[in-house]
Structure 1
């Protein structure tokens, strides 16, 4: 069977699809993964055949801002920025993916298209070509905040294309759902044609930081990350590092590409800074995850059985933080609540609270009971 997987070109959008794509290839299917060229080396390392489609998210935003796009995005009013985000994800990216995938499908017609649900251009291209398709989620389905701007733009574009029927984000197609049902949106659960898939983390192959794998488990290890999305977040990292360093624990910080490490200054001896870590390999070794609320980190911590302190910065991170709190597996700090003292006290409680530990174990058991990538890959021919 010939499969085309397609995703927006970012870690958070592409990586959730990798376990199923790799499992489908291992099952003997011909798998092509269509995304922007920046991520083709990652796909080739995983043994997948890349195809060029779409723009990177950075390129899409740069097309909307003249001059320095990063500077302009920081300067524009929030309502203008929100409109631009809606236009980028609701029109610019889908339009480009629709054109590129349409050409790809004419050249080599697949039996099934698996599109990451942030990439509605994949759904539209499959519909226009008359191909069977299924969406693939990357976490909890949200319709709050910025998603309303995106959905409005998507509805307008879909209407122009003559595409009707089916609710977002699945557009009426089956939906591969990696979110545990107990924390998924109840409204989505009630209407979707779900194909559950265990959230299995995927990272580019790399060694764990020295000392992690064989460390003394009697001393807690706290992992701090604000993800890989370029945004100004040094002040949040600084507050979190200061608070966590005051604990009787070791702190491993993945600073990400947007942070000037020098701006963080000297860090205490129990804090280690790394530009990047293989997160899926790391999470089973940590005792607490302090993070931005990205879906990959949230789902990964669920699976690894680690409590979470969420410091959401934007997009779906706020609803992910709410889900963490509601499930009893962590806490959150919003906006000006993020101080060193608040981070320290929240983290201290999460490391010691037996009720949180029980909830974390229960959610990890729920995740472990979901179908594996190999089991779901075996079902894909039924949808072709």
Structure 2
């Protein structure tokens, strides 16, 4: 009799900051002998296949990973409506993709709404893999309700909630939109606990902090510190909200003539390096970089404070200047500053003088170095990739026990 390995299905959206955190967990599960499928739009098929997963392709209506950041809009409803629209049109695609190949367990990024609906339809457990902060006891009252107070008064906001609830009801999911999005039954948190606001009020029976799941990233390429570079600075606003040539020009002014410093400036795909004007030899401009490889050699990091970049800065004990652009980045910037390892500089204040003073102050402060080293050691004890895989295996073991009873 031939036995087949358990089938784990992973679901995500085509955004670097949502796919990348899961990849090492996927790689580890595959190495342990599990069959892992990964439902993802075409832009990330090669990346998930390289991790050993079987791509299940579906087509998304969200802006792609290299799309214009302005496509995401500016208001709360601008930001959330596309995710619901995408989920509703994706669900029939995913039902068809998995017909006759239903998994034993669902794991999913927090932005993959269809995943929880599918798990309910299939009668299997679902585990959320959160690449950023999670809700704490009191989150709704302190954050959710104030944030939604005005939008819920509008016809557009009420229509959004009504449509979301109707979709959930149609699929037999006994939840309201807020709890569906923010209150999973089980969650693995792929950020260090140090980055979680009100961590002492997080229900750890639901949310387990496993910390950074980074891997060696060799496939992303290497980077070497140039000869003569006494200090290295990485400047990156991530992969989405990078269309800021004026900001990059301020960085050139701030660091281009700093003696002994070499600056790597990642500008993304929406900025032409020619827009930055004449560049000194100490400024290296790229549209993309192997970020972790550089941070392992860097002395400072100017970052948008996305969850991935923030934890990579902490894992490599790199002082950070946080210039947030959107969503959770503002909260991350405040957390990093409260930890004493970063400065939060709003974009409108990020001129050459402010950036330069912030970087030099952080790099020259031994207390910042001490705190970074302490956090790095705490993170190492959270378990990372192996612990995440262990916990997923434990959920599968529970499923097997329930089936045998």
Same fold (TM over 0.5): yes
Distance verdict in 2 for CA 1:164–1:370, change over 3 Å: same
State the Cα distance separating 1:302 from its structure 2 match.
Answer: 1.2
Q: CA–CA distance in 1 between the matches of 2:37 and 2:331?
A: 32
Q: Which runs of 5+ in 1 are unaligned?
A: 62-68
2:284: which partner in 1?
A: 272
State the Cα distance separating 1:347 from its structure 2 match.
Answer: 0.6
State the Cα distance separating 1:232 from its structure 2 match.
Answer: 2.4
Pairing partner for 1:157 from 142, 164, 168: 164
Map Cα deviations across residues 212-255 of structure 1 (whole Å, 9 max, x no partner): 2x8678x1111111111155211112112321224331111122
Query: Which structure: larger Rg?
Result: 2
State the Cα distance separating 1:114 from its structure 2 match.
Answer: 0.6
Query: How many residues align structurally?
Result: 369
Distance verdict in 2 for CA 1:379–1:70, change over 3 Å: closer
1:221: which partner in 2?
A: 232
Match of 1:376, SS?
helix
1:241 lines up with 2:234 in the alignment: no
TM-score, scaled to structure 1: 0.86
State the Cα distance separating 1:264 from its structure 2 match.
Answer: 1.0
TM-score, scaled to structure 2: 0.82
Residue range with higher mean Cα deviation, 112-121 or 227-236: 227-236
Q: CA–CA distance in 1 between the matches of 2:197 and 2:92?
A: 32
Contact 2:128-2:184 within 8 A present in 1 as well: no
Distance verdict in 2 for CA 1:277–1:40, change over 3 Å: same
Q: CA–CA distance in 2 between the matches of 1:140 and 1:241?
A: 33
Q: CA–CA distance in 2 between the matches of 1:169 and 1:303?
A: 29
Match of 1:224, SS?
strand
Q: Which runs of 5+ in 2 are unaligned?
A: 1-5, 397-405
Map Cα deviations across residues 169-216 of structure 1 (whole Å, 9 max, x no partner): 45432111122223312268523512332313365713323x32x867
Q: CA–CA distance in 2 between the matches of 1:169 and 1:206?
A: 32
Distance verdict in 2 for CA 1:36–1:311, change over 3 Å: same
State the Cα distance separating 1:317 from its structure 2 match.
Answer: 1.1
State the Cα distance separating 1:282 from its structure 2 match.
Answer: 2.4
1:102 lines up with 2:102 in the alignment: no
Residue range with higher mean Cα deviation, 47-56 or 311-320: 47-56
1:196: which partner in 2?
A: 209
Map Cα deviations across residues 96-136 of structure 1 (whole Å, 9 max, x no partner): 33323333343211111110012222222222332211000
Map Cα deviations across residues 250-272 of structure 1 (whole Å, 9 max, x no partner): 11112211211111121122111
Match of 2:202, SS?
helix
1:116 lines up with 2:127 in the alignment: no
